[in-house]
Amino acid sequence: METSIAATERAWDARIAHLLTKLPDRLRSGVGWLREPSRRWLRLAAAALLILGGVLAILPVFGLWMLPLGLALMSDDIPWLKVPLEKIAGGLERLWFRVRGVRKAD
């Protein structure tokens, strides 16, 4: 059981690393700066604010996009979040490919 959890955590880390390569340089460097271990409390505060903004998605300034971003940022410091986030992300990815009728290259 432990090995499957570790594999899922590694898959989540790989997914985040891949998504970071798709960001523009300036945004990627900002996220990299925020993900440094010494900025743990700042990262947790930013994640909490993003989650709160996601909960307040009914307001015009906030959006539902903030909730998964806050959880992803928080997963750097709370490792048990990585497994459910990876399962949700993998399920959404499979659903996206099925709806679009595209086969994912493994």
Q: Supply the mean pLDDT for the chain.
A: 88
Q: Which domain holds residue 78?
A: 2-100
Whether 70 maps to a domain, the answer reads yes
pLDDT of residue 104 exceeding 70, the answer is no
pLDDT the model gives residue 106:
56
pLDDT for position 95: 93
Q: Which residue has the tokens 């409390």?
A: 41
Task: Tell me if 86 is assigned to some domain.
Answer: yes
Residue 106 lies in a domain: no
Q: What pTM, to 2 d.p., does this model score?
A: 0.79
Radius of gyration over every alpha carbon of the chain, rounded to an integer in angstroms = 15
Q: Note the pLDDT of residue 2.
A: 58
Domain for residue 69, yes or no? yes
Total structural domains in the chain? 1
Residue range 45-89, pLDDT digits in tens: 999 999 998 888 887 777 888 888 899 999 989 989 999 999 999
93 closest CA partner among 14, 5, 24, 4:
14
Q: Which of 10, 28, 29 is nearest to 20 (CA)?
A: 28
Contact by Cβ (8 Å): 70, 48 = yes
